[in-house]
Amino acid sequence: MKRVIFTILILTTIALFQTSNHSSALVTATLWHYEVTATEGGKELFVEVTLPPKIHPELSVYSSAEPYLKGAEILSEKGWQPLRQQGLSWFLPASAKIRGCRIRYHYQLAQAAQAISNIEIARQAGDLIYAPPSTWLLFPIYKGTPQKVTFHVKTPPGTTFVSGVFPLSSSQSDTYEINSSSLYELSYSAFGKMRLHTINLQGGKIDLAIAQSNYTISDDQIIKWVTKAGKSIATYYDGFPIHRVLVLVRVTGGRRIGYGSALGNSGAAVSISVGVNARQSDFDDDWVLTHELAHIAFPSVPRGKHAWLEEGMATYIEPISRMRTGELSPEKVWGDMLDQMPQGQPEYGDKGLDYTPSWGRTYWGGALFCLVADVEIRQKTKNRYGLEHAFRGIVAAGGTMNNDWDVIRTLSEGDKTIGVSVLIPLYNKMKATPVEIDLDGLWKRLGVEQRGNRIVFNDNASQAEIRRAITYGDK
Ligand SMILES: [Zn+2]
C-alpha cells in the first residue's frame, strides 16, 4: 500500500522548466503538474499548469464551479495568449496535443464558496474555505488513459492547506499525487486557519485538522476521540486499513457532533462537524466518526446501484468494532441489531438491493447482508474466518477508499481470501430479488434473546459459538 516515490526527481525538472524563458518552455512537456499559489485564506488561487501531449483538448472544472475560473491563458510563441473558452469549457490548440503545453489562470475561490456553499464543491464556514481540488484544477473532461498527476500548493503565512489527496511523501507533504482518472471528483480539502495534529496508529496515520474556533473542549479531548475511533477500526481490521486519512473537524453551533461524510478518490478524507459547545459526554456517545472511518476501508464502488454495500458495511462494522475495543457492551450491540435489522427487510415492491435505494434498504439492508454473510462464512469455515477476514483481504489487495473498484471484483477478492464462496453467491441472490431473512430464526440460532428490556445470551444455542466469535473477534 505504500506508494513508490520516484516522482521527486521529476519535480526537480518541473522547477527548472518553470524558471525557463518562453522559447525553451515550448519544449515538449512530459509531466502533468499544477503549481498553485494561494492568497490569504485561500480566497484566490493562481494556478500554473503543465500538460503533457495527447491530453483531450476540452478542459473544465467541477460542474457549477466554472464561472469563478478567470483569465485562462496558454503560452505560445507569441507569449501568453487567452485560452479559447466556449460555454463552460476551455479548449487547447492542436499543437498542445503534439508537444504538451503550459497554461495559467486564477480561481476566485472565496466567491465560489459564498455562491455555491456546498462542501462537495466550495463552501465558506468561519475562516475556512472547503473545496476539493476538482473545483479549482482545470482538467480534461474526458478521462483517457490514467496518468500520474501532481499538484503543489503554496500558502502565505497564517493560511494552511489540507487535503485528503495523498501527499507525494512525508518530506513533500505540500505536493499531492492524483490519478488522472479521479481528477473529476477529488477528496475533501480546505484552506484557512486550522490546527494540525497527527495520530499514529499501527498500520497508518490520521492527519487531523481542527478548524480554528473557541471550542469548549480542548484539542486533547478531540484527539482522544479521533484516536478512539481510529483504534476501533484498527482493531476490526487488525491494523489501520489505510496509510493516511485526513480527518477534517468543522465547527458548527450548539453541542451536536455529527454530520459526517467520507470522500475518497486519490486519497481519503472524513469531514465531520463538531458543535462549538460539545462536551466530553457528546464525544463519548459519538458513533458517526467510527462509521465514517469504516468507509475508508472499502473501495469506492459505483454508488448509484451499490450505496447499500458501502453504507451497509459501515453500519455493520461500526458497533462491532466499538464492541471489540470494549467501548460498547455485547448486550447493547446485539440489542440494537435486534431492534434495527428489521428495517433492512424488503418491503412491498422491493426489487432487490441493487434496485431499491430506500434509506432502510441502503443502511440496514446492507447491514443485514453483512450479518448473513458473517454467519455463513463462519459456518462454512467452522468459525475459522468471519466477515472481517474477507474485508481485510479486500483491503490488503488495495481495495480502499482511494480506489474505484466494481462490486464483483470487491466481493470476489473477499471470497478468495477466506477460501469459500459466500459473498458472490449471496450478492447474486439478493441483488435483484427481495430476499426476506428469517431474523427470528437467526437470533434463536445465535442465542440472542430479548427478555423485557434486557438482552440475554443463550450459550446452548446451535450457533452460539458464531455469536461469540462475532462479538470478540480473534482475540
Ligand atoms: Zn456512511
CA distance to 104, 115, 255, 357, 426, per residue, from 411 (Å): 43, 41, 39, 20, 10
Ligand 1 centroid to residue 333 C-alpha, Å: 18
pLDDT digits (tens, 9 = 90+) for 338-360: 999 999 999 999 999 999 999 99
Tell me the pLDDT of the chain averaged across its residues. Answer: 92
DSSP assignment, residue 168?
S
| Band of residue 148 on the pLDDT scale cut at 50, 70, 90 | very high
Please tell me the distance between residue 64's alpha carbon and the centre of ligand 1 in angstroms: 25
Q: Which residues surround ligand 1, an ion (CB under 5 A)?
A: 311, 314
CA distance 454 to 249: 36
- 413-442 pLDDT per residue, tens: 999 999 999 999 999 999 999 999 999 999
Residue 382 pLDDT exceeds 90: yes
| Ligand 1 center from residue 56 Cα (angstroms) | 34
Distance 320 CA to ligand 1 centre (A): 15
Say what percent of the chain tops pLDDT 90: 84
Is the pLDDT at 282 greater than 70? The verdict is yes
High-pLDDT (> 70) share of the chain, %: 94
Confidence band of 260 (pLDDT split at 50, 70, 90): very high
Q: How far is the CA of 166 from the centre of ligand 1 (A)?
A: 21
Contact 141, 89 (CB under 8 A): yes
Taking the centre of ligand 1 as the mean of its atom positions, its distance from the CA of residue 290, in whole angstroms, is 10
> How much is the pLDDT for 203?
95
Distance 314 CA to ligand 1 centre (A): 6
| Amino acid letter for position 196 | L
Residue 428's contacts (CB-CB under 8 Å, 6 or more residues apart) are none
Distance (angstroms) between ligand 1 centre and the Cα of 289 equals: 10
Per-residue pLDDT for 22 more than 80?
no
**d(CA 215, ligand 1 centre) in Å:** 26
pLDDT of residue 18: 42
From the CB of residue 27, how many other CB atoms can be counted at a distance below 10 Å?
A: 11
Ligand 1 centroid from CA 334, angstroms? 20
Pick 173 or 22 by higher pLDDT.
173
Whether 16 has a pLDDT exceeding 50, the answer reads no
Distance from Cα 303 to the centre of ligand 1, integer Å: 11
pLDDT value of residue 4? 28
Quick one: CATH architecture of 1-190? Sandwich (2.60)
Of the pLDDT bands very low, low, confident and very high (cuts 50, 70, 90), residue 365 is very high
pTM of structure: 0.90
Give the single-character DSSP code of 122. Answer: B
Residue ranges per structural domain of the chain:
1-190, 193-297, 303-472
Round to the nearest angstrom and report the end-to-end CA distance of the chain: 25
Residue 159, pLDDT above cutoff 70: yes
Gap from CA of 208 to ligand 1 centroid (Å): 19
Kindly give the distance from the C-alpha atom of residue 367 to the centroid of ligand 1, in angstroms, as a whole number.
Answer: 11
Measured in Å, residue 281 CA sits from the centre of ligand 1 at 23
Contact between residue 95 and residue 81 where contact means Cβ atoms under 8 Å apart: no
What is the C-alpha to C-alpha distance for residues 106 and 364, in angstroms, rounded to an integer?
Answer: 45
Q: Could you tell me whether strands 448-451 and 454-457 are parallel, antiparallel, or unpaired per DSSP bridges?
A: antiparallel
- The predicted pLDDT at position 475 comes to 58
Q: What is the average pLDDT across 18-34?
A: 59
CA of 382 to the centre of ligand 1 (A): 31
Tens digits of per-residue pLDDT, 189-218? 999 999 999 999 999 999 999 998 888 889
Phi-psi region of 46 (alpha: psi -120 to 50; beta: other; left: phi over 0): beta
Is the pLDDT assigned to residue 89 strictly greater than 50? yes
- Assess whether pLDDT exceeds 60 at residue 233: yes
On whether the CB atoms of residues 8 and 31 are closer than 8 A, the answer is no
Centre of ligand 1 from the C-alpha of residue 204, in Å:
21
Residue 2: pLDDT band with limits 50, 70, 90: very low
Q: Which residue type sits at 393?
A: G
Is it the case that residue 308 has pLDDT exceeding 50?
yes
Lowest-confidence pick of 284-293, 295-304, 368-377, 442-451: 295-304
State the CB neighbour count (10 A cutoff) for residue 396: 15
Distances (CA, A) of 386 to 194, 312, 378: 41, 16, 5
- Edge to edge, the sheet with strand 123-125 lists 123-125, 128-130, 189-192, 160-163
- What are the φ/ψ torsions at residue 366 (nearest 5 degrees)? -65, -40
* CATH code given to domain 193-297: 1.10.390.10
Distance, CA 295 to ligand 1 centroid (Å)? Answer: 7
Average of pLDDT values for 261-275?
A: 93
> How far does the centroid of ligand 1 lie from the alpha carbon of residue 298, in Å?
11
The reported pLDDT for the residue numbered 29 is 59
Distance 291 CA to ligand 1 centre (A): 6
Residue 334 reports pLDDT greater than 80:
yes
CA 310 to ligand 1 center in whole angstroms: 7
Q: What is the mean pLDDT of residues 124-131?
A: 92
Q: 363 CA distance to ligand 1 centroid (A)?
A: 8
Backbone torsions φ then ψ of 271, nearest 5 degrees = -110, 130
Phi, psi for residue 251 in degrees, rounded to 5: -95, 135
CA dihedral of 450, 452, 457, 462, whole degrees rounded to 10 = -40
Q: What's the CA-to-centroid distance between 362 and ligand 1, angstroms? A: 10
Grid coordinates representing 184 are 473529476
Choose among 288, 234, 200, 242: nearest CA to 475.
234
Higher pLDDT, 115 or 127: 115
Mean pLDDT throughout 21-27? 45
CA of 292 to the centre of ligand 1 (A): 6
Confidence band of 13 (pLDDT split at 50, 70, 90): very low
- Cell 466530553 belongs to residue: 280
Tell me the sheet residues that pair with 337.
Answer: none
* Cα-to-centroid distance, 134 and ligand 1 (Å): 22
User: Which of 28-37, 98-107, 280-289, 371-380 shows the lowest mean pLDDT across its residues?
Assistant: 28-37
**CA distances for 138 relative to 110, 121, 185, 217, 344, angstroms:** 17, 14, 12, 40, 42
Report the pLDDT value the prediction gives residue 28, as an integer from 0 to 100: 53
**Long-range contacts formed by 10-18: CB under 8 A, 24+ apart:** 11/150, 11/152, 11/168, 11/172, 11/175, 14/50, 17/50, 18/48
Q: How many residues does the chain have?
A: 475
Cβ contacts of 284 within 8 Å, gap of 6 or more: none
Residue 9, pLDDT > 70, answer no
